[in-house]
Amino acid sequence: MALPEKKKKNIKLKEEKKQKPSKEIKKDKNLKKNIKKIKPSVEETKVKQVSEFEKKELFDLNNIAALIDKSKEDFGETNKKLNKISQSQDSSMDSSKLTLSEEDALKAQIFGCWSIPLGLPYNEDLLVRIKLKLRPDGTLIKTEILDHARMNMPGQGFFRVLAESALRAIQLCQPLKVPTSGYERWKDLQLNFDAREMLGG
Amino acid sequence: MKIIKLLTGICIFFLSYTSNSFSLIEVDITRGNLNPLPIAVSPLSQNNKTKKIFQNKLNLDDLGLEISKVIENNLKQSGLFNPLSKDAFLQKPDIAHLKPRFEDWSLIKAQALITGKVLIENDKLKVEFRLWDVLAAREMLALSFTTVPNNWRRVGHIITDKVYERLTGEKGYFDTRIIYVSEEGPKTQRVKKLAIMDQDGFNIKYLTLGNELVLTPRFNPTNQMVTYLSYFRNLPRVYLLDIETGIQEVVGDFPGMTFAPRFSPDGKKIIMSFAKDGNSDIYTMDIENRIVERITNHPSIDTSPSYSPNGKHITFNSDRSGYQQIYVMKSDGSNVKRISFGKGIYGTPVWSPRGDLIAFTKLHKGKFYIGVMRTDGKGERLLTENFYQEAPSWAPNGRVIIFYRETKTNKEGEGFSAKLWSIDLTGYNERLVETETDASDPSWSSLLSN
């Protein structure tokens, strides 16, 4: 299709020149040039490195002895209690699971503590598995994200966000509502945080 | 040696026996709360000298506090965060920025904390900020920005973008602008001007005087140009406006009316409708060499074209099936497929910047809906319904949609008001976007600091 010359007309802007968006945009360019990721000062870098890259050691060596002692006591108590359980009850008990009521209590507690990041897309692989090492009173000794390598992988931003939210939930909830007995059974626990159902997937 | 081997064997046997006696218990956590994340935004600290300099330069009593309010407002509007009241903060901003006392912040139920510092360096504004995970007691992010002091609000928006991205995993949309049609006066004598503002409603500027009717402004990908509909020799025509120079021009020389313009994702073409003798089809025009290309050729009304982000497809609405529905085709006009099959009529389809969804307006039984569907037409979700609303436009992260809604101004159904509203993909976070005047036809820019 043949085209005519450009038909142009200037429009007067209502604003004064200094308020013209053009100037504003120029400023934007200026800002674009000036705003940059500036490395924090040496002191800041230190803080950053300590906080971001140093793996926090949650296993307190000073507490291990006390922990072992306490666990022995608890285990002893548990053994005593278990000895009292009748034969029929004993056979129905699966040592690899929590009872339904125990599991429900723990789930209900964590449901309340877990703020699911609402921005997550529901079609992503939104499952984070976290292994916990617990004290008999339900406080944390150690947490470990089982797919930790994904945390720093490019394109895995959503996994990282979900994992961090799960860790916050565990921290917020502790001491966890664990059974009063059978410490050996649940001292290591794995929580599988799955946001797909909540986010509509 | 044998004894050592024997002992090692016994140890291994013992350890494996004890470790296997209880297998690892797994508990599935499939529910949580959907409450916005409690976050504390501490006022950005500054020393007295800096404070006085900015008081003189910007006429602001406390720049650090003002920047923190910009961040706080952005986070609140997103619906994903719950900024906590500053009255509850126990730690002073300067000390908190250095090393937060996490117990104090967890005491007020904060799960994340933003601290910062405002400085002046060579007459420039320098802002440092840090994002902290309160429960894990660690820093998540630390950045600083330098700019001219007048850009302090933009610094607040950029900080929000960084925080949003770190905490949600997706890009923010706060350092952006919205272009829209400002409306004043009675409905029969409406004065309409092009207006541009920051996404939070500040820094409004008017780009036209209101002498001519203007409609459907759209940004180009670099946010420097705008295409829109205005009148030329009493005919509706597509215009191009350079925001920097203020020069506007008619796009092409079509022997009829042109409307519903939009830029291609590379910014090189404008796609629009051209109507003649009661038929309208979709055309593109190359901005540089002015070559016009006809994309659809059908005796029906084809309009509201919108490119997919990769430029390979176009969605548009057409009444070729008898009543208005949404279609998708290849960018050369081939392989046209209808994708909307629900009850009612569908229009103004807009492809999401993520590429996964198409937003639309739907009219059914006298009510208007803003909704989204996948690009194959499946998974239709209606996000909001009202008496009259239309013209969805996506935020650059593809999570929030802005549109306009007309309402009656009193219970008797008299009067009339048009306002901008935003809603996110959950359909729950619906918010009024404040404007000085009535407003319609919003279009969201891409991120300015990209």
In percent, how much of chain B has pLDDT > 70?
Answer: 94
Reading phi first (left if > 0) and then psi (alpha if -120 to 50, else beta), residue B157 is in alpha
Q: Which residues contact B419 (CB under 8 A, 6 or more apart)?
A: B404, B405, B407, B432, B433, B435, B438, B439
B269 in the same domain as B138: no
Token digits of residue B432: 């009024």
Instruction: Give A123's pLDDT tier (boundaries 50, 70, 90).
Output: low
Average pLDDT over residues A92-107: 78
Average pLDDT over residues B102-111: 95
Q: How many folded domains does chain A comprise?
A: 1
B317 in the same domain as B218: yes
Under an 8 A CB cutoff, do A96 and B22 touch?
yes
Average pLDDT over residues A81-86: 39
Calculate the average pLDDT of chain B: 91
Question: For B169, which of A34, A40, A157 is closest by C-beta distance?
Answer: A157
Q: Which residues contact B142 (CB under 8 A, 6 or more apart)?
A: A40, A44, A47, A48, B128, B129, B130, B131
Average pLDDT over residues A58-64: 38
B370 in the same domain as B247: yes
When scoring A16, A35, A72, A181 by the number of chain B Cβ atoms within 10 A, the one with the most, hence best to mutate, is A35
ipTM: 0.75
B183 in the same domain as B150: no
Instruction: Please give the Cα distance from A181 to A99 (Å, whole number).
Output: 12
Instruction: Please give the Cα distance from A65 to B186 (Å, whole number).
Output: 81
Closest listed residue to residue B222, CA positions, set B170, B177, B156: B177
Say yes or no: A96 contacts chain B, CB-CB below 8 A: yes
B262 in the same domain as B140: no
Report the CATH number that the domain containing residue B354 is assigned in CATH. Answer: 2.120.10.30
B377 in the same domain as B431: yes
Token digits of residue A83: 């000895």
Residue A102 C-alpha, separation from nearest chain B C-alpha, in angstroms: 11
User: Could you tell me if residue B45 is inside a domain?
Assistant: yes
CA B356 distance to own-chain centroid? 15
Burial environment of residue B280 by CB neighbours within 10 A (0 to 12, 13 to 18, 19 or more)? buried
Say yes or no: A36 contacts chain B, CB-CB below 8 A: yes
User: Could you tell me if residue A167 is inside a domain?
Assistant: yes
Q: Is B119 helix (H, G, I), strand (E, B) or coil?
A: strand
Instruction: Specify whether the CB–CB gap between B153 and B147 falls below 8 A.
Output: no
Instruction: Specify whether the CB–CB gap between B179 and B437 falls below 8 A.
Output: no
A194 neighbourhood in chain B, CB within 8 Å:
28-30
Report the CATH number that the domain containing residue A142 is assigned in CATH. Answer: 3.30.1150
Name the more confident of B9 and B249.
Answer: B249
Instruction: Please give the Cα distance from B39 to B109 (Å, whole number).
Output: 8
Average pLDDT over residues B256-265: 92
Q: Among B148, B168, B188, which residue terminates a domain?
A: B168
Q: Which of A21-25, B15-19, B111-115, B208-212 has the lowest mean pLDDT?
A: A21-25
Cis bond leading into A175, ω under 30°? yes
Name the more confident of B210 and B219.
Answer: B219
| Cα-only R_g, chain B | 27
What one-character-per-residue DSSP string does A24-84 give? HHHHHHHHHHH---PPPPHHHHHHHHHHHHSPP----HHHHHHHHHHHHHHHHHHHHHHHH
Q: Is the pLDDT of residue A8 over 80?
A: no
Say yes or no: A75 contacts chain B, CB-CB below 8 A: no
B169 neighbourhood in chain A, CB within 8 Å:
117, 119-120, 157-162
Q: How many folded domains does chain B comprise?
A: 2
Instruction: Specify whether the CB–CB gap between B46 and B65 falls below 8 A.
Output: no
A13 neighbourhood in chain B, CB within 8 Å:
206-209, 246
In percent, how much of chain A has pLDDT > 90?
Answer: 29
User: Could you tell me if residue B23 is inside a domain?
Assistant: no
Name the more confident of A79 and B50.
Answer: B50
Which pLDDT score is estimated for A17?
Answer: 39
Residue A185 C-alpha, separation from nearest chain B C-alpha, in angstroms: 6
Instruction: Specify whether the CB–CB gap between B404 and B147 falls below 8 A.
Output: no
What one-character-per-residue DSSP string does A122-163 give? TTS--EEEEEEEE-TTS-EEEEEETTGGGGGSTT-HHHHHHH
Token digits of residue A197: 């159902």
Report the CATH number that the domain containing residue B118 is assigned in CATH. Answer: 3.40.50.10070
Burial environment of residue B255 by CB neighbours within 10 A (0 to 12, 13 to 18, 19 or more)? exposed
Residue with tokens 């064997």: B9
Alpha-carbon distances of A117 from A165, B31, B164, B401, rounded to whole Å: 7, 12, 11, 19
Instruction: Please give the Cα distance from A160 to A53 (Å, whole number).
Output: 14
What one-character-per-residue DSSP string does B152-176 give? HHHHHHHHHHHHHHHHHSS----S-
Residue A161: φ, ψ to 5°: -60, -45
Instruction: Specify whether the CB–CB gap between B344 and B363 falls below 8 A.
Output: yes
A97 neighbourhood in chain B, CB within 8 Å:
25
Under an 8 A CB cutoff, do B27 and A52 touch?
no
Instruction: Give B440's pLDDT tier (boundaries 50, 70, 90).
Output: very high
Token digits of residue B250: 């008619």
Q: Which residues contact B4 (CB under 8 A, 6 or more apart)?
A: none
Residue A157 C-alpha, separation from nearest chain B C-alpha, in angstroms: 5
Instruction: Please give the Cα distance from A176 to B134 (Å, whole number).
Output: 19
User: Could you tell me if residue B4 is inside a domain?
Assistant: no
Residue B426 C-alpha, separation from nearest chain A C-alpha, in angstroms: 9
CB atoms < 10 A from the CB of B253, how many?
Answer: 16
B156 in the same domain as B109: yes
Residue B19 C-alpha, separation from nearest chain A C-alpha, in angstroms: 10
Question: For B154, which of A31, A121, A185 is closest by C-beta distance?
Answer: A31
User: Could you tell me if residue B127 is inside a domain?
Assistant: yes
B331 in the same domain as B194: yes
User: Could you tell me if residue B5 is inside a domain?
Assistant: no
Instruction: Please give the Cα distance from A51 to A49 (Å, whole number).
Output: 5
Residue B18 C-alpha, separation from nearest chain A C-alpha, in angstroms: 10
Question: For B246, which of A3, A13, A37 is closest by C-beta distance?
Answer: A13
The domain in which residue A156 lies consists of 99-201
A40 neighbourhood in chain B, CB within 8 Å:
128, 142-144
Burial environment of residue B299 by CB neighbours within 10 A (0 to 12, 13 to 18, 19 or more)? exposed
B405 in the same domain as B279: yes
B80 neighbourhood in chain A, CB within 8 Å:
117-119
The domain in which residue B290 lies consists of 177-444
pLDDT tens digits, B287-327: 999 999 999 999 999 999 999 999 999 999 999 999 999 99
User: Could you tell me if residue B449 is inside a domain?
Assistant: no
Instruction: Please give the Cα distance from B183 to B206 (Å, whole number).
Output: 11
Q: Is the pLDDT of residue B215 over 70?
A: yes
Question: Taking each helix axis from N to C terminus, what angle separates B152-168 and A157-173, rounded to the nearest 10 degrees?
Answer: 80
Under an 8 A CB cutoff, do B35 and A115 touch?
yes
Instruction: Please give the Cα distance from B181 to B447 (Å, whole number).
Output: 21
User: Could you tell me if residue A61 is inside a domain?
Assistant: no
B119 in the same domain as B257: no
Q: Which of A42-46, A48-52, A84-88 has the lowest mean pLDDT?
A: A48-52
| Cα-only R_g, chain A | 28
The dihedral built from the CA positions of residue B56, B60, B65 and B67, taken in this order, carries a sign that is negative
Instruction: Specify whether the CB–CB gap between B163 and B131 falls below 8 A.
Output: yes
Instruction: Give B126's pLDDT tier (boundaries 50, 70, 90).
Output: very high
Q: Among B168, B189, B214, which residue terminates a domain?
A: B168
Give the angle B236-B241-B244 at the CA atoms, nearest 5°.
165
Q: Which of A116-125, B334-343, B418-427 has the lowest mean pLDDT?
A: A116-125
B133 in the same domain as B61: yes
User: Could you tell me if residue A84 is inside a domain?
Assistant: no
pTM summary value: 0.79
Instruction: Specify whether the CB–CB gap between B228 and B217 falls below 8 A.
Output: yes
User: Could you tell me if residue B10 is inside a domain?
Assistant: no
Q: In what helix (H) or strand (E) does residue A184 lie, and over which residues does it extend?
A: helix A183-186
User: Could you tell me if residue A44 is inside a domain?
Assistant: no
Which pLDDT score is estimated for B40?
Answer: 98
B357 in the same domain as B271: yes
